[in-house]
Every structure is written in structure tokens, then in C-alpha cells.
Chain A
């Protein structure tokens, strides 16, 4: 399985993602934002970080960079595209996934482990994951998912919510919502579910001695689903 991680000026989780993808069997290539052509890939990842210093709106500049037209074409032809954290912000700015990510409700940068409940398994990202709840890491200032009421209805009708913030038992309540996201949304799909944007970082949970291994579950499962 071949993957590509796009590096934008200000990306800082690109190499972590590279390590994670390789650890679970992907042949990964790093791709510079100013490149035009995307290498042949089974999965494209937009990594976390602070592309273009978060100027204007997080992800807005990166969403217009040269490589993104190829990424958009790839996604529109059914290719798997995953955006993590800043990558999620870039995805919403391209319009590949609906909604926006606002400043966190209590105006603080949040950096901690959270639990997320898998909301939909009829997709290549979470199909066959045994767990209902995963422990991931979040680190963001703008992760407060927002969309219009019409968009929310559409997202819910199409089962586009991928994961929701919850407690360790999978209970979804306001108190487990770290950033004020509508409906505790931590990640969403496009309509076809080949594009996934999420705030949590699975690549930070691939080593028990450093953190945890729910990211390992995620990546092992992902590569199996793509085979």
C-alpha cells in the first residue's frame, strides 16, 4: 500500500505521520506543497501543524496551494484522503468535507488525551475496528466544529459523523466535549466516506512506551481495509 503525506510550510506532524504509516506497512512518500503531481497513492494524508502560521483562517492558505488541486481531484475520483488536525482544517477550507473549525469555546489551546466513540463503521477507515471507543491525543486551538443547521441535517442523514468526543465508556455528553464542537463531533467524512477529517492524532498513539496503542489499532486496521 502506498501513501503520501503532504508537507506544507508550518506542518509539524508530517514526520510523525510518516513514522506511523511506515510502522504499519505503508510505503510512504513525503510530498512538498509546491509540487503539482501527486505520486501514485492508496492514501493521502494532510498532517497536523500550523500551515502558513494559521494566517487568515487555519488551513485557508494551504487549501489553495499547488498540490491541493491534485489532492482534490484524487478525492473526487474516490481516492482516500485523511486530514488530521490542521489537515482537517485544510479539508474544510477546500470544501471536501462540510463545516468549519472555530476557535475552541473557552479560548484555550487544548493538549490532552481524549476518548472518541466511533459513530460509523461502514467505511474503510473504521470498518473492522473491534473497539467502540478509542483513546487519541488532541492538540489544537481551533477544533470547535461548526456547521449550519442544514449541513448538520445532511451530515446526520448521510451518517457522515465519523467520531464523537466521549468518556472512556463511550458516553457522549457535553462535559466530555473539550472544545465546544456541535454534537461532540471530533471527525467527519465527505458524503462518499473516502475523505476523513478529524482533530485527534492517531499517529501519536502508536507506541505503548510513549503514549498508548489505539493509534496502532487504527493504522493496522486501515491498511488491512485498503488491501
Chain B
């Protein structure tokens, strides 16, 4: 079973990389962008076949390793 996870920075955390990407987009002519926030994307292929169990395990992975909950949020977006 494949599961996808998106990690994003929390709202109040400064994202200097996102800011620079925004500035660069602006310089390229994409001047209608309000804000850019950079995040991380994971695809996890697990042996677990039960949807709920797989989701629970990935959630544990997020809490213990994939995300740092002081600054990041995680979202499990895809189960297939």
C-alpha cells in the first residue's frame, strides 16, 4: 500500500527559502503571487494492507521522525 505525506511549515515559522522563491517568481514576471511556502513530500510504500492500520503507522512515523511538530504540520493525503 502506498501512502503520501505532505509536511508544511506552521504559519508563524519564517520560511526564507519560500521567500526567495517568491522573489524569484516575481522577477520572472509571475507578479500575482501572494506568498510561497516550501514543504516536503514523502511517498511511503508499506507492507501493511489494512487502510486504518497503515494510516495509523504513518501518523506515528510523522510524529516520531518525518515532521518536527514544533515547526511543522503533517498531512496524510493519499492511500492507495
Q: Does B13 contact A (CB under 8 A)?
A: yes
For B71, what are the chain A residues with a Cβ–Cβ distance below 8 Å?
100, 102, 146
For B68, what are the chain A residues with a Cβ–Cβ distance below 8 Å?
57, 60, 93, 100
Q: A60-B65, A60-B68 are in contact. Are A103 and B13 (CB under 8 A)?
A: no
Q: Which of A70-123 contact B (CB under 8 A)?
A: 93, 99-100, 102-107
Contact-residue size bin, chain B (C-beta under 8 Å from the other chain): 10 to 19
Q: Which of B16, B65, B66, B70 contacts A148 (CB 8 A)?
A: B70
A56 contacts B16, C-beta separation under 8 Å: no
A180 contacts B70, C-beta separation under 8 Å: no
B16 contacts A147, C-beta separation under 8 Å: no
Q: Which of A60, A104, A107, A146 contacts B13 (CB 8 A)?
A: A146
Q: Does B79 contact A (CB under 8 A)?
A: no
A100 contacts B70, C-beta separation under 8 Å: yes
A99 contacts B70, C-beta separation under 8 Å: yes
For A64, what are the chain B residues with a Cβ–Cβ distance below 8 Å?
65
CB distance from A64 to the nearest CB of B (A): 7
Q: A99-B70, A100-B70, A146-B71 are in contact. Are A105 and B16 (CB under 8 A)?
A: yes
A148–B20 CA distance with the chains assembled, in angstroms: 24
Q: Which of A56, A103, A180 contacts B66 (CB 8 A)?
A: A56
Q: How many A-B residue pairs have CB under 8 A?
A: 32
Contact with A along B12-32 (1 / 0, CB 8 A): 011011001000000000000
A194–B56 CA distance with the chains assembled, in angstroms: 36
A148–B13 CA distance with the chains assembled, in angstroms: 9
A103 contacts B65, C-beta separation under 8 Å: no
For A100, what are the chain B residues with a Cβ–Cβ distance below 8 Å?
68, 70-71
Q: A107-B20, A146-B71 are in contact. Are A102 and B14 (CB under 8 A)?
A: yes
Query: 3 nearest interchain CB pairs?
Result: A100-B70, A107-B16, A100-B71
Q: What 8 additional pairs, Cβ within 8 angstroms, besides A100-B68, A100-B71?
A: A56-B65, A64-B65, A93-B68, A99-B70, A100-B70, A103-B17, A105-B16, A106-B16
